[in-house]
Structures are given as structure tokens and as C-alpha cells.
A and B are shown apart, each in its own frame.
Chain A
Amino acid sequence: MSDRRLHLARAALQRAEKQWKGQVTCLPGGADRVIRRAFGGVDLAHHISIGGIAPVGLHEIICGHDDTGASVLAWYLARLSNGDQTGKSLFWIRQRRAIDQGGLYPLALPATDMPVMMVVDQQAIALWTCEEAAKSGQIASIIAETTDYDLTAARRLQLACEAGHTRLIAIRHMRSDGKTIASSAHTRWRITPDAPAHSTTGNRHILSLIGGRGVRPGSWRMQIDATTFSLSVADALENRLPPDRYAENRG
């Protein structure tokens, strides 16, 4: 390898390292506040470049019209922490007809942790409220169900979250062509019910990390606890397989 190519490779590596460090340092509290383990002990460091789920910022869940596990996943991600409870409340913003799953039923949520809920008609109001609440710093986490928004809106939400140290979980509808619009979200998730042929009890879901910044996609088979609204790995042994082998095993 010539010196010039070696020099270019070193420069590229240096830029990548800077970018890598930059992502961590932009978080309040630095890398220590990153949530490294979730979903019952899954080590996310192998999949997310900053070492885990960012405690603040935008995270997205892409769902179909009948993926109700998305609501549980959103609640779980919104409540996920490193053990430092802030005591701040949770905000659930729902735009009517954004997701064709009916409305969130509050009595199904854990009774001790009722969120402030908002139901709006227009996407503009939903996004403005998200931004205002995120910037205020008075809300621990926001869950927003809204129709598709563009990269500019996603970037504004991301900046608002970083300004107010707020976590925003956006539930977005999957487009009919299966593609997703570009976004500045830290992570993008998808959860779908597993077919009954692959599960005996029925409580099986496929959780996929499908994208984000510095993310290596992954997939896990999960089960949901409806009482605590938590997700955990259904079969630890199976989930140790790499994603490609796991997909092969599932057939």
C-alpha cells in the first residue's frame, strides 16, 4: 500500500473516531449515561456505536396498522433508565388516525404511572407540542404517534430533545412501499407479532433494530409482560445467534 493511500486511510479512521466520540460527547452526562443493557439483559454495545440507547434524543418505532406491540415497546423505551429516576412525568401525544389501531387505553397501563395524554387532529400541533415539551425539560419522556414527518422536522425534534434533556419516542407508520423516510433518530425499531407456528404460548414478538445513527441491525425474539409493560428476551440461547443465522433458523 502506497504512503498516500495509507495516509488517506489513517485520516478516514481519525475522522470516524472523531465522529464516534462526538456522538457520545453530545449526550448530557457523556457515555456513562448511555443505557447499555435492555430487554432483559441484551448487551446493545454490539449494535449501537455509542454503546447503547441514548438517554435523550429521538428514537423511532416503525409499525404497521396492527403492530400493537409498538405501544408497549414505546412505553418500555420511554421508561428505560440507568436507575436514576427523575420523578418527571411522561407525555403521550396521539394524533387521530395517524396509526390505525384505535386509541391508547389508559386502564391497560401500569396504574402507578399515568401519563399526561393529548389527542390532536393536526400533525402541526402534535409536532409543535413535541418540540415545546421537549425543550421545556419538564417532561422525562414523550411518546408521539403522528403521521410521517420529514428530515427537517426530525432534526428539529432531535435538537429540542438535546436542549431539554428529553427522550422522545416517535411511533411512525410504515409506508405502503416498505421504505422509511430519512430521519435523524438515534435508533429505529420495529416489533411484529411472531406467527403462531413459531410460538406455543402466543406471546412472542420479533423485535428488530432496523436503523439509526451508528447502528448495526439486529433482531431478537421477545415476550411482553402486560402487567409491567416490559419486554424481555424469550429465548436467550436462540438470541445469541447472529442475525443472519437467526433469520435462517426461523425459516
Chain B
Amino acid sequence: MPKTGDDSPKPEPIVITRADHKGVLVCGSDKAAQSRGLAPGMRLAEARSIYPALRDLPEQPDLYERHLARLIRAMDRYSPWVARDRFLQEAGQDGPMDGGDAGLWLEITGGSHLFGGESALLELVLRDGKSRGYACRAAIADTAGAAWGAARCHPAPAEQRILSLPRDHDIAAGFPISALRLPEQTRVTLFRLGLKHLGDITPMPRANITTRLGPEVLQRLDQFYGRLPEHLNFNLPDRPWLIRRSFGEPLGDAANLAIAVESMITELCDNLAQENLGLRRIILRCVRVDGHTHTITLGTGSPCQSAPHVLRLLSEKMPGVDTGFGIEQVIVYAPWVEHVAFRQSRLDQQQEETTDQIALAQLIDRISHHLGPRDMLFHPGHHASHLPERASVRQAVNARTYPARRTDMTLPKRPVRLIDPPEPAEILARDTNGTPSRLRWRKMAVDIIHAEGPERICPEWWQCLDQDEYALSPKTRDYFRIRDQAGRLLWAFRTGTTGQDIWSIHGLFGN
């Protein structure tokens, strides 16, 4: 169901592209592009050779999936059984490929009378789709295959595409071969043999069709007429990981509450373990008899199935729960769960290491829950920046380290301690050539015994594209390694021009 475009008289063709190892691939096109012979599957260079002024947009799988999920939720009002068709199934695995030709199946058996009959339901679905901005076509048939073909090939007006077999056998016989969802190669073969409609294939001997064209043609034909079943993957809503427990006698004691929470957490973790899932976030809600609710939210750094670990984290926050006149309901809800990978990922890795990783993740969780507002727990990573204070970034401890965060270049010698922000140093004396020989830093005199440098570090050029690229920026720093009278090695830098230079201390070296 492609989104309807704007109402301009001659819309410019637009294609959706995806970059792969061979180049840029067209993976979606609008009607204007299709009318100019631009089809999904061709390379962007090939498409541009057909239409040079072609406008291309990069593919956004997340956006596509979000819109599709929203549409499925909307169709849920007509039937609880909504399935994506084959194209959308493939799109879910490998990105959308010609998703505009895909569709949704709705199992409406026994439910159409709620909407005033099949025709009224069909009209309602089409109007609903149009109001959401989609150009859609729909049909009702006895089988999924027939509905797919009727939606595309039924000669009746859009609101009257209802195919009931065997009553409408003649209409079905007039459907083109493309109504059978066959591969392109099979369709071309059938077309060359002069078999252009379903009515041409139906009377033929079945053995001959299988021998010459393979089993798929007969399989699709039988699925069309309902002689073979077709399995659809219906979209089932996620099971909420929620346990609600109400108490006839309100819990007035914190010890009783702790026992109740312990049993609920254990039950939830057991349920998760059966599905090989682990929780990443858990919400505990205690509802008092006076309606007041106390909510505790916890997060874990990695998927967790261990009830003792969750209870230990909770026990640090449970004393804050005021039972008041009693707690009548306790709800434990895991809004975020993830699959747990207990697989052995490397041949030389032992099972003990996996156990150690879980124990380390639990330690990190315990520490994370004690952090104050300004406290930080992180893995240091590298950021592509020339500026020393921006070259180091913080990463989550349990998250995987991306290659971009690893240092891929050999940096010049860097200080072991970085003073951020740099501290100003006042010039007390200069040499005859104008270079400073004595500085004042932290109210102490620093005699420059020896200096190495400079190492020039310019500001990030991509931050100041409006400036002349050959002009020296006032933010350009010349770094020097200065050894003072006490044997310390300081990392100082100079900004500004000679005579008006400003010096700052940015770090201390270990040697």
C-alpha cells in the first residue's frame, strides 16, 4: 500500500535507495518512477541513466517498520488476525524490497456481519486506508491466494471486489497468471507457452504442468482454489510480562510485602527463563488501600533472569515503600525484555567465562544503582576529534564496543593526567627571542628548563566551514612539553600570536 503522493500535476519520480557492497540499489519506487521504467532491483546508476533528474531518498527501515506496525494495529479493529504477506515477511528480514506491492491479510471469517456485511466491510477498510494517506486496493475471497489475486486483478470496482468460489469461477478464470504469485521466470515461461490466464491452466493435465514448470504452479493454483491450505503468519501482540496480585487482607507489614514481592519476582524470572528471555527493566508498583501508589523502577545492564539479583537490587529501594494502612495490590511488570544469549561464542571460550560475564554484569548493575547524579561509570572510548578533551568519550560498560570507538590511529605522546578545562598560566619572564622562560601556574613559579614542540592542534575544520581554510584560527593551539625545575613534565599550549600569546596548562605527563 504505497503512500499517496502530493497533488502536483506531474510528480517527479522518487526512488528509495539502499547502499550495499556493490553500490547503491533501488529498493522502492513511486508510481511516477514506475511509469518511467524505473523498478526496484536496479542500480541507482542504471536508473539515473534512464532518468537523470531522479530524486532518491535513503531507505529508513525503522520508519518503514513503524508505519507498518501502526497500520497493522489499525487493521486490528476489523479482525484480530492480521498477517503480513510474503513480500512484507521478506521485507522484515532483509529490508523492504518492493514493499509497495505487498499487503496484509485479514481473517474475517464470522466477523463481517459486525460491520454490515462484506461489501460494507470492504468499503470501510478502503476508506480507512485512504484517510490514513495510503492508496490501497482490497478484496474478499474464500482463500488467501484468491484474495491476493482478486485485490490486484478483479475487474469490478474497488468496493465490489468479492470473489466467492465456485460461484465466481468464470471471473477467476479470467485472472492473469500474475494472480498466482509465481516467480518472474515461471510467469515468462507460461506467457511464452500462451498460458496467460488462470482459465488456460485449469483444464490442463496436472502431471504435464508439474513436469514442465515445476511443482510451484500447481501448489499456487490449489491454494487459490482452496484445495491446499496456506499457512499465514499472523501478527500476535507481544505477551505482557506482568504479574498482578491482589490481597484480600492488605499487607501492612514490610516483611509480608517483601515475601510477596519475592514470590512474584521469582515467578516472573522463571517465566522469562522458560522463553530464554531476560529483563532489562522492571517496574514494581504497590497500591495502597487509600489509592496511593508507590512505584520502583529498576534497570539492568544486560538481560537478567536471576531472581536473587533483582531482589538484591530491589531490597535497596524497598525500605522507601510506605505501607500506610496496607497494600492491597502489587504489580510487577517488565516493560523491556531481551533474549539471553548463553551460547558459546568462541571455540576457545570456556563456560566459566560466560558465568563470569554474568557475574560482572550483576556487579556493574549493583554499582550503577548506587551512583549519584553526577557520578559516572563508563568504558573509555575514542572519538574522532583533534582536540584532546573531545577525543575521549564515555561508553556504556555492558554495551558492545563499536570499531569507531577504538583508537585506530597512533596518537602522539599524550599526558596521563588531563586538566579539563585547561588552567591559565601567567608569563613571568621571557627569553631574548620572546619565548617564555618562567610561568606562574597555580600560584607557583614554573621555570622552563626544557621545552619540546610545538605540536599544532587546529580546531575541528568541520565546525568552522565558513572560515578561510588557510587562515590561522585564533583557537589553534601549539602544544609544548615543558620540563620544570622540579622535574615535572607539563603539557602546555599557546594560543594567539607572538607577543600576545596566552599560555595554559592542559596536562601532566608521567615521564
**A residues in contact (CB < 8 Å) with B:** 66, 68-69, 71-72, 87-89, 101-109, 111, 114-122, 125, 128-129, 132-133, 136-139, 192-196, 199, 202-205, 223-226, 229
Contacts and interface: CB of A to CB of B under 8 A. Distances in A.
B403 to A, nearest CB: 13
Nearest 9 CB-CB pairings of A with B:
A193-B487, A106-B380, A102-B419, A224-B511, A105-B418, A72-B510, A68-B508, A108-B414, A102-B417
16 contacts: A68-B488, A69-B510, A102-B417, A105-B417, A107-B380, A107-B382, A107-B388, A107-B392, A114-B379, A114-B380, A115-B380, A116-B397, A125-B372, A137-B359, A202-B450, A229-B510
A202 B489 contact: yes
Contacts of A193: 486-489
A121 B418 contact: no
Contact of B507 (A105, A115, A226): A105
A118 B377 contact: yes
Contacts of B450: 196, 202
Given A72-B510, A105-B415, A116-B377, A136 B363 contact: yes
Interface string B21-40: 00000000000000000000
Interface stretch (B116-124, B291-299, B405-413, B455-463): B405-413
Contacts of A114: 379-380
Contacts, number: 147
Contact of A101 (B353, B366, B413, B508): B508
Interface in B407-431: 407, 411, 413-420
B376 interface: yes
Contact of A125 (B370, B379, B414): B370
A50 to B, nearest CB: 28
Contact of B487 (A104, A119, A202): A202
- Name the residue in A88, A101, A195, A229 with the highest tally of chain B Cβ atoms < 10 Å from its Cβ: A101
Nearest to B382: A107
B115 interface: no
Interface residues of B, number: 47
A229 B414 CA distance: 12
B375 A118 contact: yes
Contacts of B507: 102, 105
Contact of A107 (B370, B379, B391, B511): B391
Contacts of A133: 363, 367
Given A103-B420, A107-B407, A133-B367, A122 B372 contact: yes
Given A103-B419, A129-B370, 17 more contacts: A71-B417, A71-B510, A102-B508, A105-B417, A105-B418, A107-B391, A107-B392, A108-B510, A114-B379, A114-B380, A116-B377, A117-B376, A119-B375, A122-B372, A136-B359, A192-B487, A202-B511
A232 to B, nearest CB: 11
A86 B411 CA distance: 29
Contacts of A106: 380, 392
A218 B312 CA distance: 46
B235 interface: no
A117 B488 contact: no
Given A68-B510, A202-B483, A138 B360 contact: yes
A107 B414 contact: yes
A109 to B, nearest CB: 8
